[in-house]
A and B are shown apart, each in its own frame.
Chain A
């Protein structure tokens, strides 16, 4: 006992210090409590607030009236909002498909280079994406706009006579989204491709499989977990994105993220905005659960 060693008088009254010293459960609770309290206050409570808000009523001046109401959810079934939802799912899906098309060969390439080069090649993929994402969007605006880089090069070379109108179309949104989310696909794909044992590929070759057949029958199936993890990491944020449509999509490209933002900051219908947020959140949870059911909470998701 420390008080015998130090010769101090034994503490007879209740002592927090003593409990902390001798009780591991109390130590754990003491260490976790700042985080627990903070996240409860600034993450869990606000989320609960949104759930409650989604059942409230919008007042005449854009204020919130505390009258229970399920109309906010019913309104989401309006064709106007259904179209936005379908369009968001479509943009999310298209972004996912294109990041796979570009990201898969890239991840495969990195996994096949000598081990000492791999981390540098991965680092090169990540490097630009540590810079601000609005700056990256801006770079694409410079390239794609009517008086932009692409048009002046194409006009100069005589490929086109009239400048292409790409900026402020869904195509521009897709181009920027694919660019933004590419690393989220490459990293998990690389993680699962890198794990494939040489022996498995050699076995396939020894058994007479041609390279493309080995790829289709061995490599591709073994990389599916990485592909699913990448798809989750790309699809979910792409679906809720509102900044890219804001800057590059023009007035017609409205995703569910834009809808939520507009309800909170423009039309000031918080209850409806909260209901739309709940829809996005539920979709997100469904997709994530489907994934974790299929593959377990894989390390691919946590790169």
Chain B
């Protein structure tokens, strides 16, 4: 599209739109430092709510659970999702179309339906709902996303470098570890990053598969928000937003670097 300078009204609109996108988050952050509890107006600066947060054992437990589930589900989904991407990109086999269309299930099926289907499945099979069922569910919705991302990156992969490696006497395993994997690594990493964030962020499917005992950070935030508006939630949100911003900026910088090399 044209690179002419956008019209004046369009620039005004864009500024308003970006304000709309960032304003709620800004409010959230500002009032995490407010001394007043009901957080209507600014009363004074404090770090009290962060102190409350760091001594909230429920939140700390939820953070631990969330990170554990995110790490496990990312690891498993990335490994087997990458294998599936390799299979779909390079081989033809019976059931190819079925496997390919199965990847679109979590893209198309509404989250609430996936949530209740997993709940019904775990109950009928007799698995006790808890951290394990959450992790199993997260792996399930993460695999297709990893496969789709890695497959997109595999698209431009030059097979001749693998052939060169084999011609030089390396066997399949060595070729895979020394040539194939390093080449597709950026794709695998962005698939893993997506899986990690999806797992960290998931509320709906976690809600249905958690059972009464287990809690994750989104579940914890939900019950805090439902209970009352307290600056402790603001403090938690601020830290969360900050963490995500740092991770994303870092991944952008790394990507830029790789592209420049």
Contact = CB atoms under 8 A, between A and B. Distances in A.
Interface string A232-248: 00001101111100110
Contacts of B124: 49
Contact of A106 (B5, B17, B119): B17
A31 B91 contact: yes
A84 interface: no
Nearest to A179: B24
B147 A35 contact: yes
Nearest to A27: B91
Contacts of A243: 203-204, 222
B95 interface: yes
Q: Is the interface of A mostly helix, strand, loop or mixed?
A: helix
- Most chain A beta carbons < 10 A, residue from B22, B116, B137, B143: B116
Contact of A32 (B84, B121, B137, B234): B84
Interface string B211-255: 000000110011001100100011001001100110010001000
B27 A196 contact: no
B34 to A, nearest CB: 11
A162 interface: no
A53 interface: yes
Interface string B103-118: 0011011111110111
B57 to A, nearest CB: 20
A143 B140 CA distance: 36
A36 B252 contact: no
Interface stretch (B8-16, B47-55, B157-165, B183-191): B8-16
B17 A31 contact: no
Nearest to A111: B1
A127 interface: yes
B99 A32 contact: yes
A25 interface: yes
Contacts of A264: 116, 119-120, 208
Nearest to A140: B24
Contact of B81 (A35, A128, A140): A35
A102 B240 contact: no
A182 interface: yes
Interface range for A: 35 or more
Nearest to B245: A127
A247 B245 contact: no
A149 B27 contact: yes
B245 A35 contact: no
B87 interface: yes
B109 to A, nearest CB: 7
Given A134-B225, A196-B1, A142 B108 contact: no
A301 to B, nearest CB: 8
B116 A277 contact: yes
Contacts of B2: 112, 198, 201
Contacts of A90: none
A147 B25 CA distance: 18
A46 interface: yes
Contacts of B140: 38-39, 42-43
Contacts of B21: 124-125, 128, 179, 182
A41 to B, nearest CB: 8
A137 B225 contact: yes
Given A32-B93, A134-B203, A261 B112 contact: yes
Contacts of A281: 109-110, 113
- Most chain A beta carbons < 10 A, residue from B1, B99, B245: B1
A280 B112 contact: yes
Contacts of A141: 225, 229
Contacts of B93: 25, 28-29, 32
Interface of B: 1-6, 10-11, 13-14, 17-18, 20-22, 24-25, 27-28, 31, 38-41, 80-81, 83-84, 86-88, 90-96, 99, 102, 105-106, 108-114, 116-121, 124, 136-137, 139-141, 143-144, 147-148, 171-172, 197, 200-201, 203-204, 208, 217-218, 221-222, 225-226, 229, 233-234, 237, 240-241, 244-245, 248, 252
26 contacts: A29-B91, A31-B84, A31-B91, A35-B80, A35-B87, A42-B140, A43-B141, A45-B121, A46-B121, A47-B105, A50-B117, A106-B17, A109-B14, A112-B4, A115-B3, A132-B221, A132-B240, A133-B201, A135-B237, A247-B225, A257-B112, A274-B120, A277-B117, A281-B113, A285-B108, A302-B148
